[in-house]
Structure 1
Amino acid sequence: MDAEGEHWCNIWLEYAAGGSLADRIQSFGRGLPESKVRPYAKSVLLGLSYIHKKGYVHCDIKPQNILLVDTNDDLAMSVSGNRRVKESIAKIADLGLAKKARQRQKGKGRLRGTALYMAPDLIQDEQYDSHTDI
């Protein structure tokens, strides 16, 4: 509480120094090599699995909503004693459209998410479940 009696809240967020997956794809120009895609895909799938086990669906999985966070600090060394290249893992962001799974959207024509990344079945029957996010 400050001198005027106002309450203040602080929010701490993890800094994603690697930017978004969309930024990373754009920086490579022609897409990412498989060696980069594999660990990002694993991270995203593990995150989605957790969200789905809790009974929710994200509803807006797209490269802009995947953030890349460095996993190694500056002192990280490889087995041979050489400095390791920083690696990033993917983390799911922007849960603003997330909702309980297996619910139908209220109101015809009101879909959640980004049209270019939506599952076709979602557009047709408007029911959200874990398949919607993949």
Structure 2
Amino acid sequence: MFLEYAPEGSLLDLMNKYGGKIPERDVNCYTQMILEGLLDVHEKGFIHSDLKPSNILVFTPQHGTYLPILKIADFGLAKQQGAKDTRSRFRGTKYYMSPESIVGEVSGALDIWSLGCIVVEMITRRLPWDTHDQDDLRDKLLRGESPNIPEDMSKLGKSFLRECFTIDPNKR
């Protein structure tokens, strides 16, 4: 397998270049690019399982566009859709993991939750959770908590995040 060279680095690098919060109009475009990539991955029967800013590569803008192109990378934890994960009790990177990842359930909803966490981070420039303790985060997820939705987002943006953070993965 070959990977394209990403001259602009990762989404994490791009967020650092903005130097602060990314304007919501740009976040909307980036989110659409990530969703298109996830749709392609999910249609092929796979789940990424570790979606986070450092696993999204940034490419130079195409002619006629001002925003860079984003592409999903690092499929090291990818699983086939519907598979049960027996490896461990956690799937992915703690700040971006979904409630069902704790019990090893693997579906496309897992990636959608992670995308919501990424959107929160792009908008606020902070990690989606205020804890660094994995056990505390697990407990929050098991209690049905989700990352806070930024108050200064548009109504549509808040609605999108509420959908991403629906606890029941079958409704996400």
- 1:105 corresponds in structure 2 to 85
- What is the deviation of 1:86? 4.8
Separation in structure 1 between the aligned mates of residue 20 and residue 66 of structure 2, nearest angstrom: 22
Closer/same/farther in 2, CA of residues 27 and 128 from structure 1, 3 Å limit: same
Superposed CA deviations along residues 87-122 of structure 1, whole A, max 9, x for unmatched, are 311100101110101111115x44331111101222
Structure 1: which 5+ residue stretches go unaligned? 1-10, 79-84
Question: TM-score, structure 1 length as denominator?
Answer: 0.74
Give, in angstroms, the shift of residue 45 of structure 1: 0.2
Q: Whose RCO is larger (CA < 8 A, sep 6+)?
A: 1
1:68 aligned counterpart, secondary structure: strand
- The residue aligned with 1:56 is 46
SS state at 2:5 partner: coil
Give the Cα–Cα distance (whole angstroms) in 1 for the partners of residues 6 and 25 of structure 2: 20
Q: TM-score, normalised by structure 2?
A: 0.59
Select the structure that is richer in helix: 2
Of stretches 35-44 and 88-97 in structure 1, the one that deviates more from structure 2 is: 35-44
Q: Provide the aligned C-alpha RMSD in A.
A: 1.9
Task: Show CA shifts across 1:19-49 (max 9, x none).
Answer: 1111111222322112321221111100101
Matched pairs, number = 112
Question: In structure 2, how many angstroms separate the alpha carbons of the residues matched to 1:98 and 1:58?
Answer: 4
Name the CA distance, whole Å, in 1 between partners of 2:89 and 2:46: 18
Q: Which amino acid aligns with 1:122?
A: S
